[in-house]
A and B are shown apart, each in its own frame.
Chain A
């Protein structure tokens, strides 16, 4: 394996002058400029991100999403006149926006689930959600196996599902466990403790430990999953995160003055809860996880693992039944060809 000497050139694009001056170009080929090329291309095509928020009404889902993306992205903000009553069914509603920051465009889709867990009998209330998630996978799969398919397949798959745990302080309720168990298999679930300003730090710590215990006892895998850590670096980083989940968050879109600075916070009679202060709540951690460091990873896990699992299941299903999608013509034909050969040896 040949390795050229690497002399990082501070100016990757050499001057297009007639003569070669000064710089020593012998060792430098310019392969690392492919990183810039990729970045440019990515910026040009833009990004897509689909986030789903699940939890009982009143836990602050819409507010949190607004706080995360610092704009009114949630459903409530889009339909302010809508009277919020308890809906009789679990309605999934998705709203899409395009937000831009420093030239990077992102199409953000927020999928809200009003009505989840609000009925007296909540049996199977996760089913509409699972159905929706699987429908998105199905849509993507159909487009992927088309002959004339689009260059960029529109990605509506749910990349992240934020599950809001009410701040009881005790442990996870059966509904929480059921939901996370089922959904953890098809989508990346990030559990958060909602409205955590009702818990003191001690209570919070104990609650979190119990939640982690519950998750472990029930075999529920939440993001970031241990199995998908690629290398030691990832593992160290993700272990740190795993020690802290579920994040205890507080959401708000109002600003107040604290120590002369304008901060996002909730003002109460006993003080101002600063949302972005890590001493107060873990919103900043959640934001960093979701957006600043692991957004691409969330998409990758969805694409490489959850989607592939769905695809395998779906294609196997259709092979067995002979109905439904079958995008593995070669594989199946190979199977039947083998059978034919064995039968010819009569």
Chain B
């Protein structure tokens, strides 16, 4: 049976706007969508970057109206490390899984060149974890605990002059990875007129250095206005406090000084309310979306390209991930095989070497054995010769002994015959004229 799948109309052509003749009911769709998320809960992760003692933990406590656990950090940290803590907050029927990440030891070292590195590594690690989950075969993205940083609050020290170079360098490294919201910490140390100058100096420095901070979205009518007015006050000058002071007849979060009381939630005193407004009440969802659709996509693109995947090759013929992967895989397998071959050859060579070594050793041993044997034989022979000599001598000696004994016996038996014997002995001499002469000359 032949199959003809009907043509799917392209987006721009056949899309018509129809009017409904009655109430259908899909206007409840946003509610349906939101209900789903409510049951699952939301994730929100804030990273606080700033020097030790600048008020990061206090500000978090003030923002979320609660006391997060944790002790103040010491100033003796050898390097920057990131400490993450998760909390579950609930307000009416909304559950928020909040994670605050603190940079412990930032700005404390003498050499701060590498201070930004642990922060960048942490952010990248969160993206990597999400990417790994997304690339898995069996994945469960819908109940994955999102640990990617949605907002980075950068705490600027209230010097009153300008940004420190450490701040500039760190912000420049972070601006393509996370939504940066710069805030001026401990703003109660700056007078109002200085504050305005400080703010404009900071903003101009950020612009001139090309640091991209988070832009509050102005494309939606409902929030465009409020976002636009708030953007003017960037960076927000905040004061944090969890202590309450009696003002009038109410308790308010404030800091008490001998010369007055700084109210945290008074907009004349500091911009805390604006920060809370922007961060939580108006743009939380946008922050999450930007993290996912901009920063994470950028990371993903770079990471995949780094691994050698391409979408299109220089001639603009679309490569599919498949082909690239195929090629890479073959390359990889080829390399693997080559390495295997190499190893095998090396192994064979080693075996051969060992064999020759062993053979040589064997030969040596044989030679040694032969030598020793020969020496042994020589010695043995010598010994035998000596033995023979000795035996000969012994034999000679015993003969002589026997002869002497015989002689003695003869002498004792016949003394008389001695002269004869002598004569006999001499006679030959006498008879022989030759032997005479020496005698005569006597």
Contact = CB atoms under 8 A, between A and B. Distances in A.
Given A2-B87, A32-B91, A142-B320, A295 B27 contact: no
Contacts of B142: 300, 304
Given A19-B267, A37-B285, A101-B23, 6 more contacts: A2-B89, A35-B38, A91-B6, A147-B301, A147-B304, A287-B25
A68 B63 CA distance: 47
Given A147-B309, A326-B321, A30 B276 contact: yes
B16 to A, nearest CB: 6
A328 B87 contact: no
Given A18-B267, A148-B301, A288-B25, A34 B36 contact: no
B415 interface: no
Interface stretch (A55-63, A120-128, A166-174, A241-249): A120-128
A43 B30 contact: yes
Contacts of B251: 26
A258 to B, nearest CB: 15
B27 A104 contact: yes
Interface in A94-118: 94-104, 106-107
Interface residues of B, number: 108
A329 B309 contact: yes
8 A-B pairs closest in CB distance: A93-B6, A37-B285, A296-B32, A30-B281, A102-B27, A292-B25, A39-B30, A2-B66
Interface in B37-74: 37-39, 42, 63-68
Nearest to A233: B39
A321 to B, nearest CB: 11
B136 A331 contact: yes
B14 to A, nearest CB: 6
A42 B265 contact: no
B204 interface: no
A303 to B, nearest CB: 8
Nearest to B344: A346
A336 B337 CA distance: 12
Contacts of A149: 297
A71 B18 contact: yes
B274 to A, nearest CB: 9
Given A96-B14, A326-B325, A331-B137, A6 B36 contact: no
Nearest to B325: A326
A185 interface: no
A331 B139 CA distance: 12
A297 interface: yes
Nearest to B294: A151
B28 A147 contact: no
Interface stretch (B117-125, B154-162, B328-336, B406-414): B328-336
Contacts of B87: 1-2
Counting chain B CB atoms within 10 Å of each CB, the highest count among A17, A34, A39 belongs to A34
Interface in B297-343: 297, 300-301, 304-305, 307, 309-311, 320-322, 325-326, 328-329, 332-333, 336, 339-340, 343
A31 B6 contact: no
A88 B136 CA distance: 43
A27 B137 CA distance: 44
A104 B30 CA distance: 8
B322 A326 contact: yes
Nearest to A75: B6
Counting chain B CB atoms within 10 Å of each CB, the highest count among A68, A95, A156, A326 belongs to A326
A47 B36 contact: no
Interface string A156-189: 1000000000000000000000000000000000
A49 B25 CA distance: 14
Contacts of A2: 66-68, 87, 89
Contacts of A279: none
Interface in A323-346: 323-333, 336, 339-340, 343-344, 346
Nearest to A344: B343
A30 B32 contact: no
Given A71-B19, A89-B3, A340-B336, A297 B36 contact: yes
Given A97-B16, A326-B321, A4 B66 contact: yes
Nearest to A151: B293
Contacts of B64: 4, 29
A92 interface: yes
Interface stretch (A199-207, A210-218, A265-273, A310-318): A310-318
B3 A131 contact: yes
A198 interface: no
